[in-house]
Chains A and B, each alone.
Chain A
């Protein structure tokens, strides 16, 4: 009879099913990065001067910065001059209707299970599809416009709503924030933009699907989401990439602005190519995500991170206004040679601000999974409360789980609670399920899904089902 450990290895050997490459005529700029490249990107996108200046300032800042080293992941140095910073499908992305979309691209998204046909789209989800560096299609735009909701590509927003972009761009994540945010600010190519006007509840889920296709290309998209006073929106984000032997860099920035009484729910299912089982290839996912919540506003980040060779991301909340609420629910899976250093920052500035952190890390194979969280409660944040729970689950005996919580409380009326646990999927648990008739694989899926339940129930329904399946696929071969 096989031992549990052997079977763990068997189960982890599952192919990445989004690993195909689409044959698209793409327009790319020369390899490398200098000021001229930044100007070229800006010119290609026909940007106003203020935005070019903003990019150039970021670029100069980036040149003076060094890569962060504090994370608990290791990888060979990245050569930032050996990368293409812009790639776009050749056909002009501005389309009168979705029918004009390059059939190859459309097929790509169909293969990914993301139909861009409005009739066929899952009920109540508007999709913005970003292919390599460019947004190629946005569905349900007209319907949303009737309510005054703007949902379009970032480039289009720059042209059509420059006042909104100018007001909020960099207001949450300034270019100077960190090395990768500065890089993104200099070279970002596209992304999604959404604005929900005062008092409007967005009637459908907004979503962006990111797809990296071209080789040797970095993807630097930028998402900006503004919920005006008392508005509310739920936003979903999904990502996939082809299987390639070399590592590809993805350095995105997401900024959320929740004005007074507004609610933003931001859910991510990240499934970038994780590399093969020997750790070759895969996406380096270095992402800065942050939201500012004003008075009585609420921001919820939910993420299911199953892909990428390296994940480096900390969706955070600045709880600026009194009574504002920040939440972070995370499932991060590392299998084979994947590494993740992920968590959140909750910065309590306003009075009676509340934050909740629930992090579930799952390590299998040789995976290394780190939770890094920072809760800072300012002097004026009287009555602030935080609850953090970090649980780690180990599958097999070659993986690792690490937890780095930082707590900083500067007043005496606040409450901070932190709970952490590390457990191993027990052979006892697996045997118990098998004795009831379940296969080892089903048993592991069930146990892991049970472990992640508190996070999955925060996801919109369709996404939760998707996430559960994805988790099953990611861990297939990890136990047997």
Chain B
């Protein structure tokens, strides 16, 4: 599904990613953990194709395609979805409108027919109930005036409608109370399938109690310094990131 090799990326001339290697197979859930400033969000942004990040070295292949060669919208249409850490507000554009436009772009790309308003509403209603999304939310402008929890839930809802092959969740747990976190996690868990890969980027272990990963990677100083199974997250919770950094420093220096 996703093969990241020796990925280096800079922002405004500063190197943030210093050689990431990551292999994600279909059906797997990977958690990327790490302290603030370790490059977690940069990795998510580079995979989604944000302009401000410049890839200076390395390759990313997605289902055999060179992902870095694609524009952000082409990546999205190929099935890469980024759940934003800070979902953007778009005043005056209602949620349903954006989502319908997005879904139809993706369907067109897949060679499927576009959905009209009726079919679209029928399709999303079913997804809404899974995530306990109020129908009113569809009529509201995209993320405008949404609470933190509503914004994150909206991201997961969009993901459920767009049915990506690879979902990258960028600190989806930040700013969520425990109830909202459960709803969001249930949504993500409902999306788990043998064909879909999920990369969960998070600072805290607690989200991983709800979304149980197959692999955990620790990112520090722009490199993955340790990888392991789900038990690695618990160890981190107990010992803190300092423990890893201590191990990692000599290797990375």
The residues of A with any CB-CB pair to B shorter than 8 Å are 1-4, 426-429, 431-440, 442, 446-447, 449-454
Verify if B73 is at the interface (C-beta below 8 Å from A). Answer: yes
Distance between Cα atoms of A72 and B90 in the complex (Å):
30
Q: Are B71 and A434 neighbours in the complex by a CB distance under 8 Å?
A: yes
Name the one of A4, A436, A452, A453 contacting B98, with C-beta atoms under 8 angstroms: A436
Name the one of B51, B75, B98 contacting A446, with C-beta atoms under 8 angstroms: B98
Verify if B125 is at the interface (C-beta below 8 Å from A). Answer: no
Verify if B130 is at the interface (C-beta below 8 Å from A). Answer: no
Main secondary structure of the interface of A (DSSP, over half): helix
Q: Are A436 and B102 neighbours in the complex by a CB distance under 8 Å?
A: yes
Name the one of B49, B52, B73, B89 contacting A439, with C-beta atoms under 8 angstroms: B73
CB distance from B6 to the nearest CB of A (A): 20
Q: Which 8 pairs of residues, A with B, have the shortest CB-CB distance?
A: A450-B92, A450-B93, A436-B102, A437-B105, A437-B76, A453-B92, A432-B88, A434-B72
Q: Are A436 and B76 neighbours in the complex by a CB distance under 8 Å?
A: yes
Q: Are B90 and A447 neighbours in the complex by a CB distance under 8 Å?
A: yes
Verify if B192 is at the interface (C-beta below 8 Å from A). Answer: no
Residue of A whose beta carbon sits closest to that of B48: A435
Instruction: Give B145-160 interface residues, CB cut-off 8 Å to A.
Output: 158
Distance between Cα atoms of A295 and B13 in the complex (Å):
67
Name the one of B51, B81, B99 contacting A427, with C-beta atoms under 8 angstroms: B51
Verify if B35 is at the interface (C-beta below 8 Å from A). Answer: no
Verify if B241 is at the interface (C-beta below 8 Å from A). Answer: no
Residue of B whose beta carbon sits closest to that of A453: B92
Given that A4-B51, A432-B84 are contacting pairs, would A451 and B97 also be in contact in the complex, using a CB cutoff of 8 Å? Answer: no
Given that A426-B88, A437-B106, A451-B91 are contacting pairs, would A431 and B72 also be in contact in the complex, using a CB cutoff of 8 Å? Answer: yes
Name the one of B81, B88, B89, B102 contacting A438, with C-beta atoms under 8 angstroms: B102
- Binary interface encoding of chain B residues 102-122 relative to chain A, with 1 for a CB under 8 A from any of its CBs, else 0: 110110010000000000000
Q: Please give, as numbers and ranges, the residues of chain B lying within 8 Å of A438 by CB-CB distance.
A: 73, 98, 101-102, 105
Verify if B27 is at the interface (C-beta below 8 Å from A). Answer: no
Verify if B8 is at the interface (C-beta below 8 Å from A). Answer: no
Distance between Cα atoms of A429 and B141 in the complex (Å):
13
Residue of B whose beta carbon sits closest to that of A421: B91
Q: Are A451 and B48 neighbours in the complex by a CB distance under 8 Å?
A: no
Q: Can you offer 12 A-B residue contacts whose CB atoms are under 8 A?
A: A1-B71, A2-B51, A428-B88, A431-B50, A433-B102, A434-B76, A435-B49, A435-B75, A436-B76, A446-B101, A453-B92, A454-B92
Q: Please give, as numbers and ranges, the residues of chain A lying within 8 Å of B84 by CB-CB distance.
A: 432, 435
Since A435-B84, A449-B92 are in contact, a sample of 6 more A-B pairs with Cβ atoms closer than 8 Å, ordered by chain A residue number, is: A434-B72, A435-B75, A436-B101, A437-B76, A437-B103, A446-B101
Given that A435-B82, A437-B105 are contacting pairs, would A450 and B73 also be in contact in the complex, using a CB cutoff of 8 Å? Answer: no
Given that A434-B76, A436-B76, A437-B109 are contacting pairs, would A446 and B90 also be in contact in the complex, using a CB cutoff of 8 Å? Answer: yes
Verify if B87 is at the interface (C-beta below 8 Å from A). Answer: yes
Given that A446-B97, A450-B91, A452-B92 are contacting pairs, would A431 and B51 also be in contact in the complex, using a CB cutoff of 8 Å? Answer: yes
Distance between Cα atoms of A451 and B89 in the complex (Å):
12
Q: Please give, as numbers and ranges, the residues of chain B lying within 8 Å of A3 by CB-CB distance.
A: 51
Q: Please give, as numbers and ranges, the residues of chain A lying within 8 Å of B91 by CB-CB distance.
A: 450-451
Distance between Cα atoms of A251 and B84 in the complex (Å):
51
Q: Please give, as numbers and ranges, the residues of chain B lying within 8 Å of A2 by CB-CB distance.
A: 51
Distance between Cα atoms of A437 and B49 in the complex (Å):
12
Q: Please give, as numbers and ranges, the residues of chain A lying within 8 Å of B103 by CB-CB distance.
A: 437
Q: Are B88 and A450 neighbours in the complex by a CB distance under 8 Å?
A: no
Q: Please give, as numbers and ranges, the residues of chain A lying within 8 Å of B81 by CB-CB distance.
A: 435
Which of B71, B73, B81, B103 lies at the interface centre, i.e. has the most chain A CB atoms within 10 A of its CB? Answer: B73
Q: Please give, as numbers and ranges, the residues of chain B lying within 8 Å of A429 by CB-CB distance.
A: 88-90
Q: Please give, as numbers and ranges, the residues of chain B lying within 8 Å of A449 by CB-CB distance.
A: 92-93
Residue of A whose beta carbon sits closest to that of B104: A437
Q: Please give, as numbers and ranges, the residues of chain B lying within 8 Å of A453 by CB-CB distance.
A: 92-93
Verify if B30 is at the interface (C-beta below 8 Å from A). Answer: no
